[in-house]
Amino acid sequence: MRLVVDLNRCQGYAQCAFLAPDVFTMHGDEALMYDPQPDDEQRRNVRRAAEACPVRAITVEYGDGAPAAGTAGASRVG
Amino acid sequence: MSVDGYLEAFRSQGRIVVVGASLAGLRAAEALRDEGFTGTLTMIGDEPHEPYDRPPLSKQVLLGKVPPDHTALPRRRLVDAEWRLGVAATGLDLAAKRVQLSDGDSVEYDRLLITTGVRARPWPRELEAELDGVFVLRTRDDATRLHHRLKAGPRGVLVIGAGFTGSEIASACRERGLSVTVAERGAAPLVGALGGVVGEVAAELQRSHGVDLRCGVQVTGLEGDAAGRVRTAHFSDGAAVEAEVVVVALGATRNTEWLADSGLGAGPRGIACDAGCRAFDVRGIVTDDVFVAGDVARSPHPLFGYQFLSLEHWGNAVAQAEIAAHNMVSASTDRRPHLWMPSFWSAQFGVNIKSVGVPPMADQIIVTQGSLAEHRFTAAYGHQGRIIAAVTFDQAKWLDFYESEIERAAPFPPEFPTVDRRPEGMQPVPAGFPDPSLPSHGPTVTLSGHSPTDRRITFTPRRA
C-alpha cells in the first residue's frame, strides 16, 4: 500500500490523524507527517482516513489493482 | 491526409516518449492513458528507482520515521509503459524526432514530453565537494546517505543555505538533537522566497530551536583532515566552524544540458513553453511535438502579467503534467492553458508554512491576521496595489480565501476586516525582498521576462 497527501490541499483538519494514528500524525499544531508506505494491517484505517478527508487530499494505491482513491493534486485551474 | 485524421491515428497508434520519470512524468503518463491514448509510451529516467515522492526526504526520512525506499509514489492507474530507468537522455534530434540515451541506444517519438526537473546545485569547489561528509539533498539516494550519517550522531552539522530545503534539514537535525550551524548569504532564512519580514520570523524560529544561525555570511572554504573527511568550514567573516557533516543546500539547477545543441529553447533557467506546455525552439517559435512540464518548464502566467514562471513546486508538477498530457493528445481547439495558482508548503521547527501566489513579485506585505512574534499569522503581499500572494504560518485554513483574492486581482492593502487583526497589521510595510540582481538561492519561483529570450530579470543565480 502506498499513499501520498497533497499538502497544498491539506488544511490540517486532522481527521486522518484520528482515524489512522499510526499512519498520519500532526507535527506541531498544523503540519501533517505520514507514512507513505504503511503496513497492510493499516488498510482499513487508511481507507477510512482517505474517505474522511474533508478536502480529499489523500491518494492511496492499495496494491490490489483497485483504482486509487482521492483526487490529490488534480489541477486547480484558477 | 487531414490533420484530424492524423490525430486519431496518433491517439491510437502513436509513440509518446516521456523523458524524466519523477512526479510530473508519472502523472503525465497516467493522464495520457486517462485521456484515451493507446499508443506506445516510453518512460526514461536517469535514476534507477521508480517514481518516488521527494518532499518526505527532508522531513520524515531524515527523522528516521520513514525508510528512503518507502517513498514510491502511489499510482492512480496502470500506465502500460516501457520503463527505461537508470538511463539518462543525452541528446535530442528534433528533425529526426529521436532521443539519444546514455547507454548508446535511442528512442523515436511522435510526441515528446520533457519532465527532467532540477538537481541539487553542488558545492562549487569540486575538491571540497568530494570530502567525506559533504552532502546535497535532492534524490532518494542523497537522503539515504545523509540519513545514514545523521543517525551516527555527528558532532556538528553545518547547513549551507537557508532556503526551504536547508531550513527543513536544520529542523530535522535539531529534532534529532544534533548541533547545527546554518550559514546563509542573505539577511535571513527564506528571504528569497518570502522576503525579509517573514524571513525574520524564520530566523527567530531557527534560533529559538537552538540553531546557530549565521546570516550575511558566505562559506569561503571547506577543510578536510588527512583522511579526506570534512572537519572545518571557513566563513567570510573570519569565523571557523567545526562540522563532521556539511549539507550544501544552495538551490537547484535545471536539467537541460542534454538539450544544449538540440535547437530547443532550453537553458540554465529551464525550457520556455507556451501556456499550453508546448516548448519553444531557440528562434522563439513554438514546437508542434515537444511538450514540457514540472520544475524544468518556464511558462507564461496571465495572472502575473504573463511573466514566465519557473515553479519548483510539487503541485505545479502534477497540474502542469495533466495539462501537458491533455494537450498532447487533443486537437488545438480542445487544448487547455496551464493556469495553476502557485502554491507550496514547508514544515519546519514544528510550524506549517504555506503560500499561494508569487511572493517575490511583491513590494509590500501586511500581516492581516495573527502575529509575527507568535509565529502564527497570515500575511498578504501586494504588488502595485493588488494582492499578489499570501503566506501563512500555522494558519493554512485562510489560504483559500486569499487565493480567490489573488485570482480576482483584489486591491492591496486588503479592504476587508479580518479576525484577529493586531496593531502590527494596520499598515503595509516593505516586503524586503533582496535585490534580484544579487545572487541568492532558494526562491521557489523564478520570474523572467515576457518572452522566451527576454533576460531582464532573473531570481536564479548560476552559482551560489
Residue B315, pLDDT score: 96
> Averaged over B218-227, what is the pLDDT?
97
CA B412 to each of CA B166, B250, B257, B355: distance values in angstroms, whole numbers, following the listed order: 32, 33, 41, 17
The answer to whether residue B392 scores a pLDDT higher than 60 is yes
Query: Chain A residues with CB inside 8 Å of B77's CB?
Result: 67-68
The answer to whether residue B400 scores a pLDDT higher than 60 is yes
Would residue A68 count as lying in a domain? no
CB contact under 8 A, B336 and A35: no
CB contact under 8 A, A76 and B319: yes
The answer to whether residue B444 scores a pLDDT higher than 70 is no
Could you tell me the three cell numbers for B438?
544579487
CATH at A56: 3.30.70.20
CA atoms of A58 and A23, how far apart (whole Å): 12
CB neighbourhood size of B302 (10 A): 11
Query: Chain A residues with CB inside 8 Å of B403's CB?
Result: 78
CA atoms of A75 and B203, how far apart (whole Å): 34
Could you tell me the three cell numbers for B76?
492512480
- Measured between CA atoms, how close is A61 to chain B, in angstroms? 5
The answer to whether residue B457 scores a pLDDT higher than 80 is no
CA atoms of B186 and B216, how far apart (whole Å): 5
Would residue A78 count as lying in a domain? no
Q: Beta-strand (E) ranges in B27-141? A: 40-45, 82-85, 89-93, 98-101, 106-108, 111-114, 118-120, 134-135
Looking at every residue in chain B, the average pLDDT score rounds to: 92
End-to-end CA distance of chain A: 32
> Averaged over B287-292, what is the pLDDT?
96
The number of domains in chain A is 1
CA atoms of B345 and B348, how far apart (whole Å): 10
- DSSP lists the bridge partners of residue B254 as B118
Query: Chain A residues with CB inside 8 Å of B74's CB?
Result: 2-4, 36, 59-61, 68
Residue B391, pLDDT score: 98
Residue in A27, A35, A76 closest to B341 by CB: A76
Which domains does chain B show, CATH number per domain? 3-59+69-119+253-334 (3.50.50.60), 121-251 (3.50.50.60), 343-436 (3.30.390.30)
Residue A23, pLDDT score: 97
Residue in A12, A36, A78 closest to B340 by CB: A78
- Measured between CA atoms, how close is A30 to chain B, in angstroms? 6
Bigger pLDDT: B421 or B53?
B53
Residue B389, pLDDT score: 97
- Rounded mean pLDDT for each run of 10 residues along chain A, 78 residues in total: 95 94 94 96 97 96 62 36
The answer to whether residue B397 scores a pLDDT higher than 80 is yes
Would residue A47 count as lying in a domain? yes
Residue B224 near residue B230 (C-beta atoms within 8 A): yes
> Averaged over B441-459, what is the pLDDT?
50
Would residue A37 count as lying in a domain? yes
What predicted TM-score, i.e. pTM, was given to this entire model?
0.92
Would residue A77 count as lying in a domain? no
Question: Considering chain B, what percentage of its residues have pLDDT values greater than 90?
Answer: 86
Would residue A27 count as lying in a domain? yes
Give the count of Cβ contacts less than 8 A between chain A and B: 114
Q: In 3D, which of B439, B432, B464, B447 has the Cα closest to residue B201?
A: B432
Residue B352, burial from CB neighbour count under 10 angstroms (0-12, 13-18, 19+): buried
Would residue A69 count as lying in a domain? no
Preceding amide of A38 cis, omega within 30: no
B324-340: burial string, b at 16+ Cβ within 10 Å, e else: bbbbbbeeeeebbbbbb
Look up the domain containing A13 and give its range: 2-61
CB contact under 8 A, A68 and B76: yes
Determine contact: B53 vs chain A, CB below 8 A: yes
Would residue A40 count as lying in a domain? yes
Q: In 3D, which of B182, B270, B236, B254 has the Cα closest to residue B452?
A: B270
CA atoms of B8 and B39, how far apart (whole Å): 11
